Structure formats: C-alpha cells, structure tokens
Amino acid sequence: MGEGICDYTKHIIDLRRHMWMAGVEVELRRLIWQIAVVGKYISAKIHESNRKLAGLKNVYGEDQMALDRASDEILKNQLQFSGFVRQYASEELEDIIDIGTGQEKYIVTADPLDGSSLVDSNLSIGTIIGIHKNSVLDCGRNTMVAALYITYGPLITMIYSAGKGAHEFVLNREGEYVLSEENIKLKEKGSIFSPGGLRRDWTDKHLKFIDQMESEGYKLRYSGGFVPDINQILIKKGGLFTYPALKKSPQGKLRLLFELQPMAFIMEQAGGMAIDGNQDILSVKVENINQLSPIYIGSPYEVQMARRMLDQC
C-alpha cells in the first residue's frame, strides 16, 4: 500500500511534538510555540517591506513603521495574550514592561529584528529570544530557562533550546516547523571565523588572537548579521564569532541581555562556549537591560584559545 497522508505525518516531527517528546514542561512549550508562530508574521512583514523596495506602494498608502519596531509590536501583542508572560523586555523599548496579570511564569527578552539594516541587500536577518523565570537583572545561569532564534533567509529556520539540547526546525510549505536537526553538537574545533569591529579599533591582544586564527587557516565568514553568523557556526558544527572590546568602546557593541545571553545558552547546549574574553557570558550579571559586552562564542578550541591569549599580559 502506498503512503497516504497519515503515513506521511508519522515521519514528520513538528515543533510541538518534539518539545513534548523532549519533556519540556507544558507552559514553556506553549510559549515557545507561540513565539515560533510570531516568526511567520514577522516574515510576512519583511516581505511587505520588500514589496515597497520593489516600488510597489502599500495598499493603504500610509507610512510604514520601521521594520524593527513593527516586529517588536507584533511580538509584544502576541505575548500579551499568551497567558504565560508577565514581563517583556526588548531592544526596541526603553524599559522592561509588565504585560499579563503579573501571575504568569515567564519573562521574555527580544531582539525582534536583528540585522534589520541588511533587509535592503536581501541578506538573512533574525529574531532572538530569551525566556527567563526570574528577574532578568541577574546572571543568565540563575534565570534563563530557554532561548531561541529564527532566521529569515532563503528558508525560515528556528533553533530552540529549553536546556535539553539545541534543535533546528524548518518552516515547511504547509506552514509547520518540522525538525531538521536534533541535538546539534559542535566539533571541538571548527574552520571558520567571524570577527566584528574594525582592525584599527582592536586591542593588541585581540589583534594577536585574530592573527593567530588567520595563520591557522580559518576562513573568514562575516555577514554583518549576528543571527546568520551564529547560525553558520552551529550548522557547520564549529568556528568562532567575536565582537570584541574596542579601544573606544571597551564593552564592544552587542547587547548582553537581548543578543548574547540567548546565543550563549544555545551554544552551550550544542557543546560550544561563550565568554566575554574571560568569564562565561551566562555568568556575567546583567546590571541594566542595555548593557553591552565583548563576546567570543563558538566551538571549545577557539574560545579557549581566545581566553588564553586575552589573559596574557
């Protein structure tokens, strides 16, 4: 007998089934699911803005909100009625805001549209989410329970971790997130690197570290989007991304709470590491929501090499 539709669905592990099988607790899996669904709406918004790039007017003739702000609104509105979120903090907002009744279990952080300046050049961009059970003004190890990111590229993909490995899903043509890679595990050492910042602004120690990577033959892979650059390291199973301390900006450029902690959570779950040059990113205390931090993130060999070389006097 040929395979009918029922047989076909048997082979597909969708996001909800996967989280259930992985033993993720019910409220957390419903929340992750709802956020993944928001990814579809954000993607629709990106397409709408691309129509504008193609010279097509929006149907209502009204001013379009900037894409990153629109993505933030979509996310916030969805989470407000999720029933699982008591506070929301986003790169697009000044402060942490209360949503829900105050009794809900989780606090969500978001970089709603990372790399939004790459939209016009049609490169991949993404959404980064952290899910916390306690105040976000702490180190991630005490409060993070899950993290995920969505990549809007030729395909829409989503990688989540609820502390039981890191798993990749692809949004299929039927609009379902289906499992594409379970338990992503990095190799000890990779072959690509993504160094952020200008060479002339790097510290001497960082410069030596990058010289060392170049001399070991690492290939340069830097898109200018944090999400696709991290995604490349995870999917290629190794390598290093860094946005270092700069001479005029000792804390670098990227945000600890919205960008670095969620990626560090996922990277550790995939057997990788993430440090600020010395300390683990997830052990750094968040003092304010817009705090920046340098980062070295990727497979163990490269991150440990960074730690060694940056420690030297």
Q: Which residues bind Mn ion (CB under 5 A)?
A: 111, 114
Q: What is the C-alpha to C-alpha distance for residues 221 and 43, in angstroms, rounded to an integer?
A: 24
Pairing between strand 144-152 and 125-132?
A: antiparallel
For residues 115 and 238, which CB has a smaller minimum distance to Mn ion in the complex?
115
Give the residue closest to Mn ion by C-beta. 114
Q: How far is the CB of 251 from ligand F6P (least distance, A)?
A: 13
Q: Which helix (H) or strand (E) holds 89?
A: strand 85-90
Number of chain residues interacting with ligand F6P (CB under 6 A): 7
Tokens of 77: 């509105």
Beta strands in the chain (DSSP E): 85-90, 97-98, 106-114, 125-132, 144-152, 156-161, 167-171, 177-181, 192-195, 219-220, 240-243, 273-275, 295-298
Instruction: Pick the closer one to ligand F6P by CB: 196 or 298.
Output: 196
Judge contact between 189 and 238, C-beta under 8 A: yes
Pairing of strands 273-275, 295-298: antiparallel
Segment near ligand F6P (CB under 6 A); pick from 14-22, 130-138, 224-232, 299-307: 224-232
Out of 224, 236, 290, 291, which residue is the one contacting ligand F6P (CB under 6 A)? Answer: 224
What is the C-alpha to C-alpha distance for residues 263 and 240, in angstroms, rounded to an integer? 13
Q: Which two tokens stand for residue 98?
A: 């209360």
Closer residue to Mn ion (CB): 244 or 271? 244
The site string for ligand F6P over 32-51 (x = CB under 6 A, - otherwise) reads --------------------
Alpha-carbon distance of 55 to 300, in angstroms, equals 47
- Is 165 one of the binding residues for ligand F6P (CB under 6 A)? no
Q: Looking at beta carbons only, is 22 or 119 nearer to Mn ion?
A: 119
Could you tell me the smallest distance in angstroms from the CB atom of residue 271 to ligand F6P?
A: 22
The answer to the question of residue 153 lying near ligand F6P (CB under 6 A) is no
Candidates 160, 226, 265, 301: give the one binding ligand F6P (CB under 6 A).
226
C-beta of 119 vs 139, nearer to ligand F6P = 119
Question: SS3 of 167, please?
Answer: strand
Find residue 215's DSSP bridge partners.
none
114 sits near ligand F6P (criterion: CB under 6 A): yes
Q: Which stretch binds ligand F6P (CB under 6 A): 99-107, 158-166, 222-230, 270-278?
A: 222-230
Q: To 10 degrees, what angle do helices 67-80 and 26-53 make?
A: 150
- By 3-state DSSP, what share of the chain in percent is helix, strand and coil, each rounded to 5? 40, 25, 35
Do the bridges between strand 240-243 and strand 192-195 make them parallel or antiparallel, or are there none, so unpaired? parallel
**Hey, is 252 helix, strand or coil?**
coil
| Closest CB to Mn ion among residues 108, 213 | 108
Is 196 an interacting residue with respect to ligand F6P (CB under 6 A)?
yes
Choosing among ligand F6P, Mn ion, none, which partner's interface includes residue 224 (Cβ < 5 to 8 Å by kind)?
ligand F6P
**Which among 204, 205, 243 is positioned nearest to 224, based on CA atoms?**
243
Q: Which is nearer to ligand F6P, 162 or 230 (CB)?
A: 230
**Residue 225 binding ligand F6P, by CB under 6 A:** yes
In the complex, residue closest to ligand F6P by CB? 226
Residues 230-289 that bind ligand F6P (CB under 6 A): 253
Residues near ligand F6P, by CB under 6 A: 114-115, 196, 224-226, 253
